[in-house]
Every structure is written in structure tokens, then in C-alpha cells.
Structure 1
């Protein structure tokens, strides 16, 4: 008897629950229906509006994105033409800059060569040829050079080679259209000099002087030599120029004394000279006909 009552209670409880659920559902449906008819929905209308607004904004943003992209596609060809035009104008400007730079270099070169002529007496100026250095020896320093002027231009052997900074060297070989020269740094070069402040104090720029650091000095692009008299008062900082003895006319700038050493056992005073010409870069020169010393 007790088991049957339990089963009946369970059946009754299930029916009660089911009946309750159905009743609640019906009440909900009725409420919605009444809300629609009266305009007062039990649901929050703001939520619905927000969802609708968000959806509309998304559609608007998407249309704007595609619209902008389509506009860019339409303008691509026009932009490409503008870029091409700018590149063409840039190329023209680059060409003009290169031409102006070349003209400036030529003008600078002419000014340097005019300055070079100030080193030589007027009687030598009439026999001069401007030339470019077209080749040089291997290595850091210019010791041997080839120039773009030869016998057809009036260049002769032993002609003087100078630039706007001073003495470069001397012509050793002449062909019809080019010539070769050795610079002051060449081991076979030799030139007589004097102190610009005292023309009586003379010496010789040459190699093989016996200076302790002669090879090291040469590697540094320095000249070395000796005074003809050990009693000559020579000091670092003294300017040296050609003395006028031998092939070179006087007063052409050579360089500046950087070191003085004395060998009392040989009664000699040695000098190290920094050349005024930059022998790392010699581009334009003036070739002066040699004077007749016979």
C-alpha cells in the first residue's frame, strides 16, 4: 500500500509541475500580445534600438571602406603619372647639379692654375701648358704621373710641373700627346731650396741623406734634405722655396720644415720638409718650359 501511494504522489507532483510551466508560458504569450497592442512591450525597447543602431553603423562603415578603396583604385593611374613626372623632374635636376658641379670644378681648377703662375717669372709664363693628370703610380702617394699634354702641345723634357699649391715635379719623358713626370717624392728627385726668410740659407731636397728615419718619412709623404752649411739657422716652421739654382726658377713654394737634426761628426744639418702640394691628389697642373741654363 505504501509503495502505491508513493508512486501516485510522484505522478501527482509531475502533473502539478507540468501544469505550472504551461500556465507561465501562456501568461507570457498573453503579456506579449497585450504589450504589442498597447505599445508597451515588457521587453526593453532601448536594447532593441541599440542592436539595430549597431547593425546600421556596421553596414555604413563597410560601405564607406569599400567606397574609399574603390576611389583609391580609380586614382591609382593618376597618382602613377604624377610619380613618373616627379621622377623625370628629379632626373633633370640631378643632371643640372652634375653639370654645375663640373663647371665649378673647372673654374676652381683654372683659379688654381692662375695662382700657380704667380710662382714663375713672366718670361716663363708665355711658354706654359695646362694639363690634367691622367695616370699615376701604384700606392698612396703620387711619385710618378702621366699628363694629358705632349710635344704637340709644346711640352719638353725637364719642363717644370706646378699647381696652385706649389712645386709638383719635373718632366722626364715626352710623347706626342702625353708626358711623364716625377714628383718631389720620387727617390730620384732633387731640388735646390732656400729659406723664404733668408735667401742666403740654402740646401738640397734629395734622398739618401742618411737621416735616421728617412724611409719612414717617405712613407708619410715627407721630404728630406740637408743644408749646404751647418751654420745656417734653420728652424721647424720655416718655409722653403726653390733657390733658383739648376732647372727650377726661384721662389716656387716647396713646403715647410718640420724637423731639424744635426750630425756634428759630418758637419751637416738635416731637415725634414712637409710638401705644400697634396701628393695624395694631384689633378690639374701647369707645365712650364724649362729655362736654358747652358
Structure 2
């Protein structure tokens, strides 16, 4: 009794534990899990398990979502790579097609009758532009080692390109006919008695005038070099787009579309 008085809290806890133990034993004997106490205990256990189970399901769902997202990202990355590879293949095929087209045109240039009689041709690649978007000035990969000299004429399969202004071993600089510093005499292919002079406008086109202000040139007339001056006769220059009469200069002026596409020029031939 003295111990109980001195240790009241401890004695109370012992009493409660004993009572609960007795109740659980009696409850089990009287009906097990189906008794009131069993139901109460089962309810408590279920209440604890439910949020734990829900949390576990949520975690599993989130983890599945993360892994699924990672898989989608990886697949998109792979598709982007495949698209990029296909685009590169298309570009390479396009470049190859353009190169083959220019090689074919270049082979036509090598068959100019007016050139082959007295001259040889050296094929060359354009390796750089000298500050121009229109190939006004550019450099090729052939030079003195191939017999190229200053003022050699440059052509391609479509017609006249320009002339060489400087040259060295393995390189030559070319000024094209669309440069405003370059003047070329021409004649009309339809009537070679009609002659004039053409020069570039540095914008990809040509303009010129007829020596005879009464010359009967018309839109669509094809112009070729006349053999007056530096350029041999018969090389195609371009086609007349428009004809006007300038009352101030009293000259018949012409606008010409070059036969050479100076925006896509890659290969040329040099007459030596």
C-alpha cells in the first residue's frame, strides 16, 4: 500500500494496462474479431492503413508519370535527331544535284565553237566572294599554273560570266559582267548588224545602249558578244527585257536579263 501511495502514476498505468488486457482476453473468448472490441480495433487499424495505402498509390502514380514523361522526352529527342539527319541528307542531295547540273552546263561551255577554234578552256570552282551577294567579284581555284592570265574570259554553260583581273598560283580573281565597272560590246543574234554596249548595275542585271539609236531591237532579242574588244564573238550575254529611247542622250537604251544565274554560280570555265 505504501508503494502504491508513493508511486500513484505508475500504479495507475499498470492498472489501466491490466484492465485493457483483461477486456481484450474476454473479448477474444466471446467472439474474436467480430466482437465490439474487435470491431473497434479493426476500425482503428483500417483508419491508419487507409492514408498509408493512399499515399503509397499516389507515390506510385507520380513515379509512373515521371518515367512516362522521361520516355516521351527521349522519344521526341530521337525524332528530332532523325528529322535533322533527313534534312541534312536532303541538303546534300540538293547540292549534289545542283553541282551535277552546273557540271553539265560547264560541259556545254566547253563546246563553244567560237572558243574551241583558237582557245582552250580550264574548268574552275568558285571558292570565295569578294564582298558581293551577286558574284560581282569572286575568286576561283585555278591560276597561273593552269595558264590563266589577266583579262582571260570566264564563261559557264549558260553564257558569259566575266573576265580575270588578277591571278596567282592556285587562284584568280574575276569581275563579272554584272559589275558596273565591266563594259561588253554586243550584237543582236537575230540581226548581227545591230550592235551596242552593255554594263552591269551591281544588282544582278545589265543595262546598255544601241550604237544606232534607230536600231530595231525588241523585247526578247538575244544578245551575244561581238568580238569587238576583249571578248570573242558568239558568247551569249542575255535577253532584252525592255527597250526605251532616252531623249536626253538620244540613245536607245535596253535592260537585259543575264543568261547566267549569278546567284547560284559555283563552277566556271576560263578561256586561255
CA positional deviation for 1:68: 4.2
SS of alignment partner, residue 194 of structure 2: strand
Of 107, 110, 116, the residue aligned with 1:114 is: 107
Aligned to 1:148: 141
Using the TM superposition, name which of 87-96 and 99-108 deviates more: 87-96
SS of alignment partner, residue 241 of structure 1: strand
Q: CA separation in 1, counterparts of 2:74 and 2:217?
A: 72
**Cα pair 1:120 1:249 within 8 Å, conserved:** no
Aligned to 2:195: 202
CA positional deviation for 1:240: 1.1
Which ranges in structure 2 are unaligned for 5 or more consecutive residues? 1-47
Aligned to 1:231: 214
Q: CA separation in 2, counterparts of 1:87 and 1:274?
A: 42
Higher gyration radius (CA):
1
Q: How does 1:1-294 map to 2 (within 5 A)?
A: 63-70=56-63, 96-97=89-90, 99-121=92-114, 123=116, 127-206=120-199, 218=201, 220-262=203-245, 268-289=251-272
SS of alignment partner, residue 109 of structure 2: helix
CA distances 1:139-164 after superposition (whole Å, capped 9, x unpaired): 44432222111011232332221223
Which ranges in structure 1 are unaligned for 5 or more consecutive residues? 1-54, 208-217, 290-294
CA positional deviation for 1:175: 0.7
**Cα pair 2:179 2:202 within 8 Å, conserved:** no
**Number of aligned positions between the proteins:** 227
**Cα pair 1:120 1:252 within 8 Å, conserved:** no
Normalising by structure 1, we get a TM-score of 0.59
SS of alignment partner, residue 200 of structure 1: coil
Alignment RMSD (CA, Å): 4.1
